[in-house]
Structure 1
Amino acid sequence: MDLEKQPAPQAPPPEGCLTVAIRIPVRIVVLVLVVPVRIVWDALVVVGRFLRDSVLRPLWRALVVWPCVALWRYVVVPLAKAVGWLAKVLVVLPLVWLYRHVLTPVGHGIAWLVRGIVAGLAWVYARVLTPVGHGIVWLLKGVGAVLTLIGRGIAWVVRGLVAGLVWVYARMFTPVGHGIVWFLKGVGAVLAWIFTPIGRAIVWCARGLAWLAGAVVTGIGVALYWIARVLLVLPFVALWRWVLAPMGRVLAVVGREVWDALGHAWRIAGHISLAVGRFLGTLFRWIFVEPVRWVYRTVLTPVGHVVRDVVLRPVAEAARSVGRITRAALASARESVRQARADVRRMLFGEGGAVRDAGAVGETREREAVALREPTGADTRTLGSSTTALTKD
């Protein structure tokens, strides 16, 4: 159980006095410098969003999107339809006619001809080439049997010659070869007894020279190493250890603190900018928006209602009355014209035409009466009257 327990989180290492001494002034200076930049940045962001939503997007739609849509809808699509219709009329239909009335009959003829040629070739293969092939195969089988017999004879003769040559090699050349090998071994032993001491002496001299050259090179290398170490390495190590490393640590601490101060100041400046923006928004609302809203609700809305009730509605009622009067006058004029035309027809053609015109006039009059009929005041329902069968007076 003790092994499964997680180790306790280690506390951060204590910070030095240099870090604490640098942190507060750096954060104060950075905050003073960053707050105006953050406020300007937030203002620019707000202005950019306003311009994007109010100017750039409508301009983009008006200058790019809508012209492209109109171009596609009223130019590209009709042009594509026209090109498709022209392609169908000028290319597809002629090709279909050519395939149906020219290529299809020609293809049928070529297929019939090919079937005839294939049938002829099959007949030639079955009736001519097959018997000839069988005869050639029978002839080749006979020639193969004769060549097989000849080959067997040649193989028997070759095996006899090889056996003779093997016997001659085993009885004559083998003893001679053994003597030559014995002679070469003796010569090699003599040469080894003579040249081995000479070779060992040469190897010993070469090893001595190599050891001497290695000692000289090693001494030169050690000298150069110490010279380079004393003149270059030790000064550079001292410079790095006593100057550059402390300076780098100090700069690292300063840079880390400046970076942390920038982040901290940027966040604080964001809160300050948000507070300033809310204050300005509230001030703008109380200075401009609320007075405009109050004027709209208190002044413009009642004035609009008064104008609507006093001016616009009476004008609309008067316009509707004028329209009704005009329609009635036009209906009366049309009735008068029809009556005059019926009288003229009666005078010219007698009672038949008059009766027909009278019927048409009566039907038209009845249709207009139904269309223009309105409920009268006596037929409307009020609080003091009723239209039911039980309470009707």
Structure 2
Amino acid sequence: MHDIRAIRDNPEGFDAALARRGLEGMSSSILSLDAERRAKIVEAETAKAEQNKASKEVGAAKARGDEAEFERLRALVAEKKADIARLNEEAGEMDARLRELLMGIPNLPLDDVPDGKDEEDNVELHRWGNPRNFGFTPVEHFEIAAVRHGMDFETAAKLSGSRFVLLKGGVARLHRALAQFMIDLHVTRHDLEETWTPVLVLEDMMTGTGQLPKFGEDSYQTREGWWLIPTAEVTLTNTVHGDLVDHASLPRRMVAHSQCFRSEAGSAGRDTSGMLRQHQFEKVEMVSVTDAETGMEEHARMTRCAEAVLEALELPYRTIALCTGDMGFSARITHDLEVWLPGQDKYREISSVSYCGDFQARRMNARYRPEGGGKPEFVHTLNGSGLAVGRSLIAVLENGQQEDGSVELPAALHPYLMGAKRLSSEGKLV
């Protein structure tokens, strides 16, 4: 959420930043509502002062025996009491409208984020690894012989409908091994704290990280009112919801492996084959809670943590700086990692690493106490996939596929598969 004081101080800068996002300027309507709200508050305070003054004079009029003045003052006290209640109610309604308005506005991009409208304007930062030269035409993951038994879309559709998958045998073990490998790498090499979180959360938690109120259709809600998390970003970031933490405890670096749920609203017709875009999937998610001084340094660090997973898995990738028109709602800057998928003959997103500044913290009222005292300040938050497990499975299968239908597996996964190095064309780990 945005700081109304910052908008008051620099409305032109606020509108210019929104224009980089492809949005119309909003400072005029925001400040008009804010001014009206503040005027109501001043009116209420003035009425309160007049009520207090009249209340004091009531006793004096009664003591003098001045009945007319006594009655006039009593009526004035009642009138001011009613005015105060009305003005406070009106100010409260305006405050709610202002908060709702500010809640619906995306974060402002940093100055060095490239300008652009969509993914065509994103900027490649670097590449790692070379796509393999196959002596045959590589196929997509679900067409590989080794995968056909272990990736069952028909049974999943019978159970749950479209965009679900049932994993079995060697493919299921490989999927599990990938998640375990990622968690171990982040904990042992990157010093992230392993965390296990619920997948059902209260509405305030979804609001805190920006999924609500604007993007409710993208997620699932139970009849009891809980929301299914679209990523563990929601739970990990909200661990500081409403808290005042010590500065010495920052940065807090967490990682969690969780089930994730997305309705994929608006994605009809996109990636309908295979398991690239599912309603239920798994991710290993990284979250950092830090301060303004170290936020960008932490963003570079988190990007490297995600890149390290792809390098360990020997998967070619490229790192992309998202342009202003392609960034997510809560982000100030985002780096996407795109892994090479030979079956599609293109790079596809496998991780998004975003720095949100204090945008989420304002929604959560999450602050820290500066060392040496002083006024509490909002924390700064970051999140990133480290990595999407299903998409990592796809990448391992497609990049390791052999002409006989088997799949050679990355050396980093061998210890997690009881020494198995290959997925045979029959779908067995050998």
Bin of the TM-score, shorter chain as denominator length: under 0.3
TM-score by length of 1: 0.19
Larger relative contact order, structure 1 or 2 (CA cutoff 8 Å, min sep 6): 1
TM-score by length of 2: 0.18
- Of structures 1 and 2, the larger Rg is shown by 1
